[in-house]
Structure 1
């Protein structure tokens, strides 16, 4: 089942300077995540203009229909492997029936980056 990586493209980490930066930190991370996810089955990406996690920037959400959803943050868009780790985790999320991925399977690059977990919405009826 498809999992989505929603990337905040307006995130700015501490020290971001509009005068010297050509784009936001979120835009930089989004570009890398999109490239890493391009050929991965069952993963889709999208950008949004604010996940309201400014104190945790750079933020992404991992979501899938009927599954637990996760917000991850505090990524450095210039850190080698951050985007790949996000995509690897999302692929594991996609393979999971519930969205829960055992800790031992988490890519090293996402450990310490989880901010919130949300239960799936209840089915109507």
Structure 2
């Protein structure tokens, strides 16, 4: 089953300056994640404009149908963060429930979890 990395491309970290920076921090992180995820089995990416986590930007959501889903934030847009996010998403894709053992989390995502969302029920 596919795990989606939903990336907020409007995130701006503290100190972001429109006059000095050609793109938002979210756009920078999105480009890095897209490159890192290229060709990774079970993982797809998409950009959205605003995950409403502005106090902890840069934000991403790790999502898949019928699994636990997660929001992560407060990333610096760099290669290490992007690689960790993609590695976690790949482990999420391989998990039947979406839960990934802490020992298997990439170091670069530890401390970045904001929320966990249980799967939606199948019926009302």
Give the TM-score band, short-chain normalised. over 0.9
Unaligned runs of 5+ in 2: none
Can you list the C-alpha shifts for 1:34-88, whole angstroms capped at 9, x where unaligned?
A: 000001000000000000000010000000000000000000003x411000000
Unaligned runs of 5+ in 1: none
Distance in 2 separating the partners of 1:124 and 1:29: 36
Partner of 1:26: 26
Q: What's the secondary structure of 1:74's corresponding residue? A: coil
Partner of 1:84: 83
Partner of 1:64: 64
TM superposition score normalised by structure 2: 0.98
Structure 1 runs of 4+ with >6 Å offset: none
Distance in 1 separating the partners of 2:69 and 2:83: 19
Partner of 2:5: 5
Partner of 2:54: 54
Aligned residues: 124
Distance in 1 separating the partners of 2:42 and 2:121: 23
Distance in 2 separating the partners of 1:62 and 1:124: 23
1:75 aligns with 2:75: yes
* 1:124 to partner: Cα distance: 2.0
Can you list the C-alpha shifts for 1:4-30, whole angstroms capped at 9, x where unaligned?
A: 000000000000001111000000000
TM superposition score normalised by structure 1: 0.97
- Map 1:107-122 → 2, pairs under 5 A: 107-122=106-121
Q: What's the secondary structure of 1:65's corresponding residue? A: coil
